[in-house]
Chain A
């Protein structure tokens, strides 16, 4: 049997609802290194927010993360979301709400802050 619980999450990672006893590695651990590497490959602390390049960066980050996730070859569906925001003092709030199976599914968010831009990459994994 699977129990479907409703959970609300903010942009902070909440790993409490993943049962550590049943899975050897939580979704967060599996995926964190991949996501951080994929983001580093595209943007560095020296990159400045550039209106023409942002579209390209965002696509490259998403595709980079997706490629690495596919290599894991797990029976999962993935959703990768990436936001790149220019820094000018404006505020940003993100909230996530998921209706899924808390045992097999998980999400991971990675935030990087540089001088002129902020990048937030989120990965959701849904087990089949």
Chain B
């Protein structure tokens, strides 16, 4: 267990701890007390949407709805979308990802969201992928944390 102070760009240092034998790194974030995200690190809705679509399409292209497989696929998609968005470099953003996979049986469905946040910094991205047998809806919410 060793901790190395690492400077992630301009700003206060972030301590990254690595556990020996484990691949997960625990990042400890210090508050920056900046009311707005640094220029270039704002949650960009259209980029995130594009990224989510890039993840969904190849994964769901020829997939048929199967109750047992879908549970795992759903979680896998969620994880992957989350990882991809984290790679995009939104450092001070807390991310909430939700994926809903529905069998396409001709039923009606309605999904709505309401958020209480700062509309200038926080945003969400939504993507839908449709198939013959299934409909997949992915929502990514990004909330700025100073």
A4-B29, A77-B122 in contact; A51/B108 too (CB < 8 A)?
A: yes
A6-B82, A66-B114, A80-B113 in contact; A98/B97 too (CB < 8 A)?
A: yes
State the CA gap A87–B105 with chains docked (Å).
10
State the CA gap A2–B118 with chains docked (Å).
21
A77-B143, A91-B67 in contact; A55/B95 too (CB < 8 A)?
A: no
Chain A: CB-nearest residue to B28: A1
| Interface residue count on the A side (C-beta < 8 Å) | 54
State the CA gap A101–B96 with chains docked (Å).
11
Number of A-B contacts (CB under 8 A): 165
The A interface, classified by DSSP as helix, strand, loop or mixed, is strand
State the CA gap A10–B145 with chains docked (Å).
24
**Cβ-based interface call for A23 (8 A):** no
Select A86's contact among B24, B104, B109, beta carbons within 8 Å: B109
Interface residue ranges, B against A (CB under 8 Å): 24, 26-31, 65, 67, 70-71, 73-75, 77-79, 81-82, 86, 93-118, 122, 124, 139, 141, 143, 145
Q: Lowest 6 CB-CB distances: which A-B pairs, in order? A: A90-B105, A62-B114, A90-B103, A86-B107, A58-B112, A99-B95
Interface residue ranges, A against B (CB under 8 Å): 1-6, 8, 10, 49, 51, 54-55, 57-59, 61-63, 65-66, 69-70, 76-101, 105, 107, 122, 124, 126, 128
